[in-house]
Structure 1
């Protein structure tokens, strides 16, 4: 009975977090800590209480943190999006949260890719991506040729909307 109730809460908490974050991101371009930090704490409690694979979960979460730290430090995501992804990952299995993060990052890349193609054309966009990739691999810096000259257009509803869509798809594909 209690285990069943905990599982329902593990479905409800992320949905409440996502609903609030989508609304505030849409209206104010902000994901608040008062949403993500309690979600993170409740997620840690959920992992400790309900998961039997806490060690593998901890290692996976650490690597996800490093990946998101890299993405954040290179300006590809803002802090609220990173914290929301980390908090949500605690309610998924390790495989599901890597899938969720990959789905989010590929979706965001293709959204911005098509925005850049619209402004610069396909040939210039591909050349800029090649240049950015080579520079990143060679010297570890992102020179952002890909983004230069493209007016920053936010994703409709902000990153929280895309995170929500990816989380829902992941939740439907993975069993808990």
Structure 2
């Protein structure tokens, strides 16, 4: 009975968070802490009481944190998107939240990639991506050739809309 209640909450809490965040991100371009912080706290409680693999979960969560910290520090995500993605990940299995994060990041990259192709053309965009990748690997910093000259265009509805789409796809693929 108690485990069933935790499973229901693990579905309900993220869907409530996503609903609120999509609306506020769409209208005001803002994801509020009053949504993500309680979701994060409830997610930690859920992991502690409902999951049996908390050590592997902690290691996976730490690596996810490092990845989104890197993405955030390079300006590819805003703080609300990072907090929402981290809070949501607590309600998924480690494999599901890595899939969810990868799906989100690849979707965001390809959205921006096609926006850049529209502005710079295919050959210049591909050259910029190669240059950025080489500099990142060799020097350890991003010189942003890819983004130079491209006005930042947000995903329609904001990052929360894309995060929601990816999360729903992940739920269907990793239903448990």
Normalising by the residue count of structure 1, what TM-score does the alignment of the two structures yield?
0.98
Partners in 1 of 2:162 and 2:2 — Cα distance?
32
The C-alpha deviation readout for 1:113-135, integer Å capped at 9, x for no partner, is 10000001000000000111111
The C-alpha deviation readout for 1:55-104, integer Å capped at 9, x for no partner, is 11001001110111111111111111111010000000000000000000
Which segments of structure 1 move beyond 6 Å, counting only runs of 4 or more?
none
Residue 140 of structure 1 and its aligned partner are, at CA, apart by 1.1
Secondary structure of 2:170's aligned partner: helix
Partners in 2 of 1:24 and 1:144 — Cα distance?
29
Partners in 2 of 1:94 and 1:114 — Cα distance?
30
Aligned to 1:169: 169
Aligned to 1:124: 124
**Matched residue count:** 176
1:150 equivalenced with 2:150 (yes/no): yes
Q: How does 1:88-127 map to 2 (within 5 A)?
A: 88-127=88-127
Residue 2 of structure 1 and its aligned partner are, at CA, apart by 2.0
Aligned to 1:71: 71
Q: How does 1:55-70 map to 2 (within 5 A)?
A: 55-70=55-70
Partners in 1 of 2:52 and 2:175 — Cα distance?
15
Normalising by the residue count of structure 2, what TM-score does the alignment of the two structures yield?
0.98
1:9 equivalenced with 2:9 (yes/no): yes
> Unaligned 5+ residue runs, structure 2?
none
Residue 16 of structure 1 and its aligned partner are, at CA, apart by 0.3
Partners in 2 of 1:56 and 1:5 — Cα distance?
23
Residue 175 of structure 1 and its aligned partner are, at CA, apart by 2.9
Secondary structure of 2:63's aligned partner: helix
Residue 147 of structure 1 and its aligned partner are, at CA, apart by 0.9
Partners in 2 of 1:18 and 1:88 — Cα distance?
9
